[in-house]
Amino acid sequence: MSEALSVTTIIRTAAAPARARLLERALASVFAQEGVNSQCVVVVNGACPDPAILARLQNDGRLTCIVEPQAGKAEATAIGRLAVRTEFFTFLDDDDEFLPGGLALRARVLRANPELACVATNGEYVRDGRVEHVFRKSTRIAKDYAGLVLRHRNWLASCGGTFRSAQVGIEYFLDLPPHREWTLIAYRLASHLPVRFLDVATYRVHSTPQSQSKTQTYVESGVEVARAMMAWNTRARRIPAILRCENDAYRLACSHHRVTGDIARAWHYYRKSIMSPFGVTFLPYAALLLARERRPVPDLFARRARVPGPNRAMPLWLLAILAIGILLEEPPPQW
């Protein structure tokens, strides 16, 4: 009889009252998994965890509860990894859940392919009652997994991967940025270890209003991620693509601060962008900053842009430059 498949799930949570029901759902999905010996490590990293929630976690004999109130998301990720004692491990956000049989499927693939360090899968994304695949173009995911990350196509969702403990050590989870950490983890893994993506849904991600994807720290973390990927790079031919990622991050930060009205900070990232490789194509974007235009790109297409002030239409020459700048404004990369 083959050895039982043992998987540890690491959950990071602030143990906040507003997320108590979501956390219970996440835990229920972990312990309902069939075909595996499912263990769980919960890292409570909230500064003010709810006492009732914390007590329930600490008294739950099915799991290990670690309290680190000063730890950020990145630190909590590493703390959870250090607590793993099973053959395989995975992560789950406290507002998401595993689908039935999901962990067993991943673990069986890892057991059957001892050379693999990580198996990642597709999942379901639930928003406003609609369910769609997390990776809608998963059929295009090829074997160059590191190259995919550099093309802004991260194949590793936060709860989408299962890892072999003997191969994926703590070093892959150290010195992570506060956001977009899974982009960096995916690049580190794909650059050094064999990984595989399966187009099978094994988890469900729920859209919540607490999303940080539009915050300043999230947007600006793109630059940090690109620089960290350079430090882990193993192939010289990937250097131009990493530099392009860094340039894209400068552009995204510039666009974010323009729309939010922080023109001074937008100029800061604009200068960073045009001084970096590939930055010359971003030069016309200065027209948007000179005009102090705050509308997003779709709104600029819908209505003729105007210089701030009563009834002052933008000169045609500046409008032409503005149009070029709009065309060069790329959508936020899906990291």
Q: Is 91 domain-assigned?
A: yes
The number of distinct structural domains making up the chain is 2
Q: Is residue 328 predicted with pLDDT exceeding 90?
A: no
The pLDDT, as a whole number, for residue 309 is 45
The pLDDT, as a whole number, for residue 312 is 45
| 87 and 166 fall within a common domain | yes
| 156 and 220 fall within a common domain | no
| 101 and 194 fall within a common domain | yes
Q: How many CB atoms lie within 10 A of CB 180?
A: 23
The pLDDT, as a whole number, for residue 334 is 45
| 226 and 185 fall within a common domain | no
Query: Which tokens sit at 131?
Result: 């369910």
Read off the pTM. Answer: 0.85
Q: Supply angle C-alpha 92, 44, 34, rounded to 5.
A: 35
| 77 and 201 fall within a common domain | yes
Query: Which tokens sit at 18?
Result: 């507003």
| 170 and 240 fall within a common domain | no
Q: Is residue 138 predicted with pLDDT exceeding 90?
A: no
| 28 and 172 fall within a common domain | yes
User: Kind of pairing, strands 88-93 and 6-13?
Assistant: parallel
Q: Is 239 domain-assigned?
A: yes
- For the chain, the C-alpha Rg in angstroms (whole number) is 22
| 271 and 132 fall within a common domain | no
| 193 and 223 fall within a common domain | no
| 27 and 138 fall within a common domain | yes
| 190 and 235 fall within a common domain | no
Q: Which of 186, 206, 226 is the last residue of a domain?
A: 206
Query: Which tokens sit at 32?
Result: 């309902």
Q: Is 1 domain-assigned?
A: no
225-275, pLDDT tens digit by residue?
999 999 999 899 999 999 999 999 999 999 999 999 999 999 999 999 999
What CATH number is associated with residue 168? Answer: 3.90.550.10
Q: Is 211 domain-assigned?
A: no
% of the chain at pLDDT higher than 70: 84
| Residue numbers of the domain that contains 302 | 216-328
Q: How many CB atoms lie within 10 A of CB 30?
A: 23
Query: Which tokens sit at 234?
Result: 């193993």
Average per-residue pLDDT in the chain? 86
Among 72-76, 137-141, 176-180, 192-196, the least confident range: 137-141
